[in-house]
Structure 1
């Protein structure tokens, strides 16, 4: 390099190397090669940097695209969420509208149903009202027909099958409902029985009595005697029994006795109404007295065992001791004497009737006097009873 530099500064121009010679010299070639390598290295470095730059730019662009894509995705997600929210909101609005419409429909249906029910109730009330009016008219018509039948029967003094059917229907009505309803039923039954009682009492005909006894009316009356509360049994029933049994026609009382009214009549002896009690013992007396005419004084009375089973003997004796009045006491004693026909009076308390019957032998009432005599004769059908009767030298009149 020193030599080249010295040759370049040689004063002799011919000895100085030319540019081409310099360039072709080894050192310059080395320098040139080195520079070339440097340039190549620089070029490669620039190219690498360019690649890096391009790659970085590409990465930046990719990152930008990624960010843009993410932003787009975010926007899309937001739009999707917004769209979903709008869809949900729209659905909610539709559902709310549907619910509102459904509620409105239900409300309208309920309103229509209420109107329908109201109309039906109104129609039903009208129907019931019309039916009640029709029933009342029918009842009035029926009552008018019944009244005509009753008036005709009262006028003629004849108990007809039509009248008996009316009375039977009224007696069949169950004694149920409120106290007011029960009273109305009792009043109706009482009026019908009073019609029968009036005809039987005023005319006292065999046919009327037999009609009543053989009818279902008598079955209903006996059923009332056996089952109904004593306080709800009207006096007309006991009065009817008295009129029916107070008959001199032999067929009447046996017909009445065949209906087996005695258990029911025994119940009446406990009735709080004194007149009904007296009517009951009168009827029992009439039935048992009739039995006397068909029964031998040496044979037990046909009603004895039945009366014993229903405690009738003790109940009649209780009435005897109650001393309600002379009539009830006399009839109770005579009734027991017929029941004890040819039967020993084992209950010592019942033996009191013997002394009472002996006093009746001198009673001013001829019928009572005769009945007492017949009663003593029935009792005397048993030797022990006879001994009790004759203990003080008493002799039963012939």
Structure 2
């Protein structure tokens, strides 16, 4: 899976150059592949490209790739992949992709909003520091929108700085 190799541990500039090539329609179609390995690496590649886009947008500004992913049915496909739970890595990468895409933007699908936020809140209790740090970062991106923030802060939950 060449896209995974090209997007793994790359600079933000490389991720932005890849995004300019409009890879999302093809990558989203690959999420229907029969091979779990192809699906997993595709989800990872999508996440890597989206992370580059997250770094290029200012606080309280939506993710610059939102429309590109949304217009090809990518958000629904990523959420479907999240719910399938093919593997922990695939679930995590699809959740991170959704979290990145909804940076400073309301997750209007209520079930999706609850599921994704609950996933990252639960991940904060992981014994692995990287999982905690990633979850905190994604929750921070989602909290840039007031509706998402309200869901995050339900039951007295606070995002730590």
TM-score tier by shorter-chain length is: over 0.9
Partner residue, 2:139: 376
Q: How does 1:161-180 map to 2 (within 5 A)?
A: none
| 1:389 equivalent in alignment to 2:161 | no
State how far apart, in whole Å, the 1-side matches of 2:97 and 2:136 are: 12
* Per-residue deviation, 1:289: 1.2
Q: What TM-score, normalized by structure 1, do the two folds share?
A: 0.39
State how far apart, in whole Å, the 1-side matches of 2:83 and 2:59 are: 26
| 1:361 equivalent in alignment to 2:141 | no
> 1:342 pairs with 97, 104, 112, which one?
104
| 1:293 equivalent in alignment to 2:55 | yes
State how far apart, in whole Å, the 2-side matches of 1:364 and 1:290 are: 27
Partner residue, 1:324: 86
Q: Where does the alignment leave 5 or more consecutive residues of structure 1 unmatched?
A: 1-237
Return closer, same or farther for 1:297/1:372 CA change in 2, 3 Å cut-off.
farther
State how far apart, in whole Å, the 2-side matches of 1:390 and 1:295 are: 24
Q: How does 1:248-327 map to 2 (within 5 A)?
A: 248-327=10-89
* Preserved CA contact (<8 Å) 2:24 2:72: no
RMSD: 1.4
How many corresponding residue pairs? 160
1:145-167 superposed Cα distances (whole Å, 9 cap, x missing partner):
xxxxxxxxxxxxxxxxxxxxxxx
Q: How does 1:199-238 map to 2 (within 5 A)?
A: 238=1
Q: How does 1:1-20 map to 2 (within 5 A)?
A: none
Q: Where does the alignment leave 5 or more consecutive residues of structure 2 unmatched?
A: none
> 1:246 pairs with 2, 5, 8, which one?
8
State how far apart, in whole Å, the 1-side matches of 2:24 and 2:46 are: 7
1:51-98 superposed Cα distances (whole Å, 9 cap, x missing partner):
xxxxxxxxxxxxxxxxxxxxxxxxxxxxxxxxxxxxxxxxxxxxxxxx
* Per-residue deviation, 1:248: 4.2
* Preserved CA contact (<8 Å) 1:360 1:368: yes
Report the secondary structure of 1:318's partner residue: helix
Report the secondary structure of 1:247's partner residue: coil
Return closer, same or farther for 1:365/1:382 CA change in 2, 3 Å cut-off.
same
* Preserved CA contact (<8 Å) 1:246 1:286: yes
* Per-residue deviation, 1:260: 1.3
State how far apart, in whole Å, the 2-side matches of 1:397 and 1:243 are: 34
Q: What TM-score, normalized by structure 2, do the two folds share?
A: 0.93
1:209-235 superposed Cα distances (whole Å, 9 cap, x missing partner):
xxxxxxxxxxxxxxxxxxxxxxxxxxx
Bigger share in helix = 1
Q: Which has the higher contact order (CA 8 A, sep 6+)?
A: 2
* Per-residue deviation, 1:369: 2.7
State how far apart, in whole Å, the 2-side matches of 1:363 and 1:384 are: 26
* Preserved CA contact (<8 Å) 1:337 1:379: yes
State how far apart, in whole Å, the 2-side matches of 1:363 and 1:290 are: 25
